[in-house]
Amino acid sequence: MKNINKNLILIAAVAISSISHAQLGGMLKKAAKNVATDQVNKAASGNSSSSSSSSSSAVGGASSVTLDWKQYPMMPAITMKSLLDGTEVSDNGNLRMNFYRATFIPNKKSSGEPVDMIRDDNVLTTKVYLNDQLIKSPTYNDGSYFNDGKQNTYQDNGNQQSDIMMTQEGKYKIDFLAGGVQFYSFDFDVHKKVNTDPYATSAALWYSTGPWEKWAYITPQTSGNFILGFYMMHTELKPNPNDARKTSKSVNWYPELLQNGKTISVPNKQTATVQQGEWKDFSCSMKLIGAKDYLKIAELKDGSYTLKITVDGEPAPRMYDFKAAGGNIVQSDKQDRAKNKDPKSLVEGWNNFFWLERK
């Protein structure tokens, strides 16, 4: 009887111990989740109060390296140029997400050690959503830090781990994470145009819409010239009726610079080869009426301007307002870090691209 009582006591003790560990585990998981959520909010705003908190959960539940989010006072972002260039929807439905440039991502861990892209886990990752449902969590182990550590790249070197073969149209979103912390989001739409031609090489044309149509840019490049740029593509299934194999089309476009409603630039006809379903940027320099050389940004007088781009075949010109002051382009409110306090929607131009929103 004594042995039986001892066994019962032992079993009861083990059961109590198991319940305690389960409760403790639940409490720890809840606490870890709270810490991770707090870290995301504070890191995205550039005001992380703790650089030594536990790393949050990343891809597939694997832990991520914990970064020192107090390293830079500036909130992190992805450059708009790399978002528009690096997010590619091919005509056969392949979504390619590569060569994104991130700004102000810490290159130091919370321990103070430098980040090692080879040995550290899940430094740069993304999460891809379709209609708010997570469909993939790529890692970018080939990413590297450059430009004195203030920029780094989400780079997928040929292994195509970030690629997605799409099967559905809808609203796509890419969340960008560093060290398990989400700091930026990029939204766009994907469409499919069915080809009923029985002789066509492809039954459908996939393409994206969204920010490519909305934004244009001005950049000085290295010359200091006023260089304007914007994006075009077309969705005609057979742009050349005499050659079914030719999918690109030649398009004329005409940029103008206006001040107070009056054109101040010389005529500047441009011809572009526009791709079927794939966004490409087109750029050119400008000359002011009466000027001998190309316009430089520093030569713009203080005041308000309008960039007008007329594209053959489009129903109305593309119009973009901007201001110049002190020999430079004034950043839009969405690009100006002092005015745009939403860290996940900042239009990042670094210090050499000025983004103009279409009217």
Q: 38 by DSSP, 3-state: which?
A: helix
Four-point Cα dihedral 329, 87, 47, 181, nearest 10:
-170
Distance from C-alpha of 264 to C-alpha of 256, rounded to nearest angstrom: 8
Q: What is the pLDDT of residue 62?
A: 61
DSSP string, 209-266: ESHHHHEEEEE-TTTTB-EEEEEE-B--S-S-TT-TT---EEEEEEEEEEETTEE-B-
For residue range 101-119, list pLDDT tens digits in order: 999 999 999 999 999 888 8
Distance from C-alpha of 71 to C-alpha of 82, rounded to nearest angstrom: 23
Does 91 score more than 80 pLDDT?
yes
- Spell out the domain ranges in the chain: 1-209, 210-359
Give the Å distances, CA to CA, from 82 to 105, 147, 152: 15, 16, 12
For residue range 318-340, list pLDDT tens digits in order: 999 999 999 999 999 999 999 99
Percent of the chain with pLDDT over 90: 69
Q: What is the pLDDT of residue 33?
A: 35
Pick from 79, 81, 82, 125: nearest CA to 104 = 79
Q: Which of the four pLDDT bands, split at 50, 70 and 90, describes residue 316?
A: very high
Q: Of 30-39, 123-132, 149-158, 200-209, where does the model show the most confidence?
A: 123-132
- CATH class of the domain at 210-359: mainly beta
Answer for the pair 347, 340: CB distance below 8 angstroms, yes or no: yes
For residue range 43-84, list pLDDT tens digits in order: 444 443 333 333 333 444 568 899 999 999 999 999 999 999
**Greatest C-alpha distance within the chain:** 112
DSSP string, 117-171: TTTSSSSEEEEEEETTEEEE--B-TT-EEETTTTEEEE---SS-TT-EE----EE
For residue range 54-63, list pLDDT tens digits in order: 333 344 456 8
**Residue predicted with more confidence, 255 or 157:** 255
Distance from C-alpha of 236 to C-alpha of 239, rounded to nearest angstrom: 5
pTM for the full predicted model:
0.83
